[in-house]
Amino acid sequence: MIRVALISFLAVLPLCAQMSFVRDVWPHLQKADCKGCHNTDGVGSTTRLQFPDADATDAEREVFGDSLRRFVDTADPAKSMLVLKPTNRIGHAGGRRIQPGSEAETALINWVKQLTVTKPLARHEERRVVAAHAKPVLRRLTHSQYDNTVRDLLGDISQPSRQFPPEDFIDGFKNQFEGQSISPLLAESYGEAAARLAQKIKVTDEKTFVESFGKRAFRRPLSAGEKTRYQALLAKAGPQAVAEAMLQSPAFLYRPETAARPEDRPYVRASRLSYLLWDTMPDDALIAAAEKGELNTAEGFEKHARRMLADPKAAAALDEFVSQWMRFDRVITMVKDRRFYPNFTRETALAMTEETRRFVADLVWNNRSFLDFYTSDATFINGDLASLYGMKAPSDDYTRMAYPADSGRAGILSHATFLALTSKPAETSPTARGLFVREQFLCQNVPQPPPGVNTNLPPQSEEKPMTNRERLQIHLSNPACASCHTLIDPIGLGLEKFDGVGAYRKDLTMRIPSFDRKKEPRSVSVPIDSSGWVAGIQGSEFQTPRELGAALARTPQCQECLVKQYFRYAMGRRETAADRAVIARVLATFRDSQFRFQELMIAVAKWTEFGVHAERN
């Protein structure tokens, strides 16, 4: 009946004369938020439909509109996916985005009719839908980079950044250039730190201090103008004043992505490599390599990168990446209801992060496949975590131990870091767990809930206690919520047998408040249905973290997401369409290495520096 009605509608609908996609169709698709899923990082990223970037021109959007003829059945327009999918007449993971019979559907049908009678754009008329995103020119030292730099420059281990205002997370990391402006409070903190640090400097030769200290502080030789200014300051106020001024200079606090002077290019390259692999300033050997031109070829660059990965500073730098990616800051500061989790303490939270830190370090520095991040049957725990996991305590803290075969645990998805982080103070949050998997492990953005939507779940009642699965049905029964929650809730529901701090539970025990305030809340236990799946991934049905980890590990989106996360951290920004060739090349290198993360690190450093055609040069 639906098909008959649609055929009739198409038959009587007049074709508008020369529609404009941007004027007549684009606004409806925007309102329906189709782009929220159909973008390079959206849940629909693996489909054939990819919307242009947000800052695409109208001409580029018109080209996109013409490309939608791929979803038009010219022989039978009534079967066109372009209309049937968004109206949910046939299965659509995003649910019903456009109401049948609405003005938006009319616009789509008109566009289908126009595409059936017009010719595709000629090849020479097409324009690539590639947005020209702004890229960083200067990147401020992060707080950890500042601490490490003054350590290596001055021998200071006091970690001055502890007194700095906190950094904001953007796109999952604290080093994204969009959030690296210097506020008045941060500028004041830099001034105070510089004054204190400068007093510790011991100077043996004031003829050479300006040039020698300046070269190390600025990670390049001083310009003639800089030499003159700082020599004058030296003569007037002494070396401590020079050091204090240099430590507040943009040349110290910022790292240029490109060189202002041609002669500085090798030094910029050395700094980019050093702050990526070491999270600190270049050492003397790397500066010497830059001066000799050894970093000017991809081969020489890679040689020094591998030398740097063998240094202990590389392990500390990797820890910084992992701590931000897995949001250790939230784990360490999270609060749990002592009535439900009486044994949870700050020491427990620190043990959780240490487990994950050592787990990743083992994968990376012992050259294991990084897909074991999702599938490994071993972990690193202390006595507190062993008790939490129901395992025998290790003889020594944080030694590598295998999970019991029947535990269902494997990889990061069974770590308390992940399970506690994605829970509420008194209960689990299947929605938060599913969202974390989508965003952090699949690099897929789930659209925000529509304005005004009530996101609270029904409270527990004495008459009818409900499991989280039953309470979350409210999301699926509301069309405004269902389109997104069908993508995230089933993932978290499959992990419900692990509580809000990561302990296994067979049943869900709930405290149900009584209507009579004189009575204590009663405890009710109900069985847990831990069946889950990942919409968009075939064969992803699971009931344990081990099964979910295996599904993720074999998924191309998950493998590519590992590349994207490290790329974002390395570049201080999200990837753009212009970066696709580099992402693809790094991913190919990563796969060819059997997913060795050290090879991923080298590939990101090399291909972002030299481009994918470096081997031809």
- Residue pair 318/364 in contact (Cβ under 8 Å)? The answer is yes
Residue count of the chain: 617
Q: Are 364 and 597 in contact (CB under 8 A)?
A: yes
Higher pLDDT, 6 or 268: 268
Cα 268 from Cα 255, distance rounded (Å): 8
Q: How far apart are CA 476 and CA 485, in angstroms?
A: 7
CA 351 – CA 215 distance, rounded (Å)? 41
Cα 569 from chain centroid (whole Å): 8
Q: For residue 329, which of 438, 443, 167, 445 has the smallest C-alpha distance? A: 167
Residue 41 has pLDDT above 90, yes or no: no
Q: Is the pLDDT assigned to residue 458 strictly greater than 70?
A: no
Give me the phi and psi of 33, to 5 degrees please: 55, 40
Q: How much is the pLDDT for 125?
A: 44
pLDDT for position 7: 41
For residues 22 and 142, the model is more confident at 142
Name the residue among 455, 488, 452, 483 with its Cα closest to residue 98. Answer: 483
- CB atoms under 10 Å from CB of 137, counted, come to 11
Dist. CA 272–CA 269, nearest whole Å: 5
For residue 213, the model assigns a pLDDT of: 97
Beta bridge partners of 509: 525
* pLDDT at residue number 16: 45
Give mean pLDDT, residues 10-31.
70
Q: Report yes or no: 127 and 261 within 8 Å, Cβ to Cβ.
A: no
Task: Give the model's pLDDT for residue 18.
Answer: 76
Q: Please say if the pLDDT value at position 10 is more than 70.
A: no
Token pair, residue 578, equals 């212009």
Measured in degrees and rounded to the nearest 5, phi and psi for residue 365 equal: -85, -15
3-state secondary structure of 301: helix
Exposed/middle/buried for 223, CB within 10 Å: 0-12, 13-18, 19+? middle
Query: Which region, left, alpha or beta, applies to residue 522 given φ > 0 means left and ψ of -120 to 50 means alpha?
Result: beta
Q: Cα separations (Å) of 601 from 44, 156, 269, 491?
A: 28, 28, 16, 30
Where in the chain are the domains?
2-125, 138-277+288-294, 327-553, 556-616
Quickly count: other Cβ atoms within 10 Å of residue 262's Cβ. 7
Distance (Å, whole) CA 174 – CA 196: 26
Query: Look-up: residue for tokens 């060795």?
Result: 596
Each as own residue / partner, the long-range contacts of residues 18-22 (CB below 8 Å, 24 or more positions apart, any chain) are 18/114, 19/110, 19/111, 19/114, 20/62, 21/61, 21/62, 21/64, 21/65, 21/66, 21/111, 22/58, 22/61, 22/62, 22/65
Q: Are strands 378-381 and 254-256 parallel, antiparallel or unpaired?
A: unpaired
The pLDDT-based confidence of 518 (bands split at 50, 70, 90) is low
In order of 10, 166, 196, 330, the CA distances from 171 in angstroms are 44, 16, 34, 15
The mean pLDDT value for 281-295 works out to 97
The model carries a pTM of 0.82
Beta strands in 231-384 (DSSP E): 254-256, 378-381
Question: Which tokens go with 575?
Answer: 């990837």
pLDDT digits (tens, 9 = 90+) for 211-258: 999 999 999 999 999 999 999 999 999 999 999 999 999 999 999 988
**Amino acid 371: pLDDT:** 98
What is the average pLDDT across 365-385?
97
Distance separating alpha carbons of residues 561 and 371, to the nearest angstrom: 12
Per-residue confidence (pLDDT) for residue 80, from 0 to 100 = 82
Per residue in 299-350, pLDDT (tens digit) is 999 999 999 999 999 999 999 999 999 999 999 999 999 988 999 999 999 9
More confident residue, 384 or 473: 384
Tens of pLDDT, residues 228-238: 999 999 999 99
pLDDT digits (tens, 9 = 90+) for 529-586: 999 999 989 999 999 999 999 999 999 999 999 999 999 999 999 998 889 999 999 9
pLDDT at residue 112 tops 90: no
Helix (H), strand (E), coil (C) string for 511-560: EECCCCCCCCCEEEEEECCCCECCCCCCCCCECCHHHHHHHHHCCHHHHH
SS3 39: coil
**Phi, psi (rounded to 5 degrees) for 422:** -100, 30
pLDDT class of 66 with cuts at 50, 70, 90: confident
**pLDDT recorded at residue 515:** 59
pLDDT for the residue 454: 62
Say if residue 177's pLDDT is above 50. Answer: yes
Q: Rounded distance, CA 132 to CA 200, Å?
A: 46
Residue 72, pLDDT score:
83
pLDDT at 452 over 80: no
Is the pLDDT higher at 475 or at 190?
A: 190
pLDDT higher at 481 or 557:
557
Q: What is the Rg, in whole angstroms, of the alpha carbon atoms belonging to the chain? A: 28
Q: Is the pLDDT of residue 460 over 70?
A: no
> Nearest to residue 348, comparing CAs of 360, 334, 363, 359?
334
Q: What is the pLDDT of residue 14?
A: 44
Burial 335-348 (b: 16+ CB within 10 A, else e): ebeeebbeebeeeb
Q: How far apart are CA 31 and CA 515, in angstroms?
A: 44
Q: How far apart are CA 355 and CA 391, in angstroms?
A: 14
